[in-house]
Structure 1
Amino acid sequence: MAIRSERIAVFAGTREGHDLARYLADTGRLERTDFFVATEYGRNALEDVPGVRVIAGRMDREAMDKCFRRRGYRQIVDATHPYAAEVTENLRAAAEDCGIAYMRLLREEEDYDRNKIRFVDSPREAAALLDDEDEKFLLTTGARDIGAYAQVKNLRQRGCARVLPAEESLRACLEAGFSRERIICMQGPFTRAMNIATMEQFGCSVLVTKSTGRAGGFPEKAALAEEGYRVIVIGRPEKEEGFTLKEIIERLEIE
């Protein structure tokens, strides 16, 4: 068993994870912190932080357990996306198995009018709603579950997808059946004006998104309901427990 060191492991994937990296760089603590990301895109998202050490690649629970024991971390910070529920579950379990402290970094909660937005439980439920109508729609839910929309009628003519500028995202959209001309690969978050402009350019009247918090640009997307657009939201899987970025920084300072 590895001797416990002062090293910290941060599993990133959100803007808050990037902000934590920036804070650790500014306070001279990066030399004992490793940042883990799932993809090369995640690595590139952190490249503007000087001195950050990034390890890219997906890990299951067994791989996490081996990594934690080998490197001897004293603290695991989970800053993965709110919808990466399986990753969070594996991180929490592996940290417990190894006797390492675990902290979940939460996104700031959003505030919006829930009466003007349609909430659904899953991508398949959103796809079923879209399949029952003829309006053009913009998907901003990411590429991971894009296959759920493959059977929506007239997808190539009606569907437009906005995903991260990564090769795997583009490939997933094409495999699902989206037209290449209606796939937008851009890094967000986006302003309200940008969202409206995108809807207008592609003739969309329906926006499908996820409840991703303020850092993920959700309020700017939810605001489209005020402009007369229909907004379908795939709700956050469940209420999470954890700490805000400020609280995690305070706890790291104490330890």
Structure 2
Amino acid sequence: MHQESRRLWLLSGTGEGPVLAQQLLAMGWQLTVSVVTPAAALAYSASNDLTIQVGAIAGEAGVGAELAAARAAGRPYAVVVDASHPFACQVSRDLAAVCGRQQQRLLRLLRPALAGPATLLPALEDLQAVPLAGQNLLLAIGARQLAVAMAQSRGAHHHARLLPTANSLQQAMAAGLEPDRVACLRPGSDLAVERALVRRWRITTVLARQSGGPTEQLWRRICRSEGLGLLLLRRPQEQAGVEGLDAEALLATLAGRSVAGAAFSRDAGPPAP
């Protein structure tokens, strides 16, 4: 793989993307990196071997067009790496479908399952079975699912922690959240902002996503230190037939090495924490 072509298409929607790109460049790969927003592109260092594409992939047609354009230019991709967010299911489905039909090598970066106490919810509808009446519930699941989460947890006093975008704030207001119960802030690394929020709002339970990344780690630490209940929306199943690897195994594979036992089952979904 590495001998025939040194071109790689990296679809990145997580914080691991910029670090992964630097490591791949150091291996000698030429990268095309796809990110959704201009802000996400700023995290990538400039390089003659790095091309950044900004914007959402237009479904299966968009995936097929990118692969075809690379072939037409005489520079086909040796491998496609899906490093999108675990909850960005549509882009992973589109990649798996098109790469499968075209016999294009596709590797999926799998985040780890984090350990610690939490209640896993297969779907937001399962909130109905959780006794949340009278609880101060912090919703840390993104703006798009706020309305559904609130509808499934009637009786709770809802609060939300969102990314600082106009669209997020609009969705929060449309869901019926009170303005003084919404915080539009970027996640911190020292927990100070999040700790202040849960104390100010007297939060008793946090609903987050089983992302396996820094955000889940943040809420696990906050809930543990503040004595809060933690509900996690279970990570979606990975696409069947796709080679899923943790970061170490992915880099080893792309360097032409192998790491025994580093790959996860591609059909069983993520391991339970």
TM range (shorter): 0.7 to 0.9
Alpha carbons of structure 1 residues 94 and 122: separation in structure 2 relative to 1, 3 Å:
same
Structure 2 length as normaliser, TM-score?
0.76
2:235 maps to which residue?
236
Higher fraction of helix: 1
Structure 1 residue 80, shift from structure 2 partner: 0.7
In structure 1, C-alpha distance between the alignment counterparts of 2:143 and 2:158, rounded to whole Å: 13
In structure 2, C-alpha distance between the alignment counterparts of 1:105 and 1:235, rounded to whole Å: 18
1:76 aligns to 2:80 (yes or no)? yes
CA contact (8 A) 1:138 1:160 kept: yes
Structure 1 residue 193, shift from structure 2 partner: 5.0
Structure 1 vs Structure 2: percent identity of aligned residues?
21
1:108 aligns to 2:112 (yes or no)? yes
CA contact (8 A) 1:165 1:186 kept: yes
Matched residue SS, 1:104 = strand
CA contact (8 A) 2:220 2:230 kept: yes
Structure 1 residue 71, shift from structure 2 partner: 2.1
Which of 217, 234, 249 pairs up with 1:247?
249
Gaps of 5+ in 1: none
CA contact (8 A) 1:69 1:98 kept: no
Structure 1 residue 111, shift from structure 2 partner: 1.5
CA contact (8 A) 2:120 2:233 kept: yes
Gaps of 5+ in 2: 72-76, 258-273
In structure 2, C-alpha distance between the alignment counterparts of 1:61 and 1:131, rounded to whole Å: 41
CA contact (8 A) 2:57 2:63 kept: no
1:222 maps to which residue?
220
2:119 maps to which residue?
118
In structure 1, C-alpha distance between the alignment counterparts of 2:159 and 2:140, rounded to whole Å: 9
Residues 7-56 of structure 1 show CA distances to partners (whole Å, capped at 9, x for unaligned) of 31111111122321232455564xx311112x32xx31231322251331
Residues 128-186 of structure 1 show CA distances to partners (whole Å, capped at 9, x for unaligned) of 3578502111111112322213435477xx21111222232222222212223222222
Matched residue SS, 2:33 = strand
Query: Partner letter of residue 36 of structure 1?
Result: S
Structure 1 length as normaliser, TM-score?
0.81
Superposed CA RMSD in Å reads: 2.7
Query: Partner letter of residue 18 of structure 2?
Result: H
Matched residue SS, 1:96 = helix
In structure 1, C-alpha distance between the alignment counterparts of 2:183 and 2:108, rounded to whole Å: 31
CA contact (8 A) 1:149 1:176 kept: no
Structure 1 residue 77, shift from structure 2 partner: 0.3
In structure 2, C-alpha distance between the alignment counterparts of 1:141 and 1:190, rounded to whole Å: 18
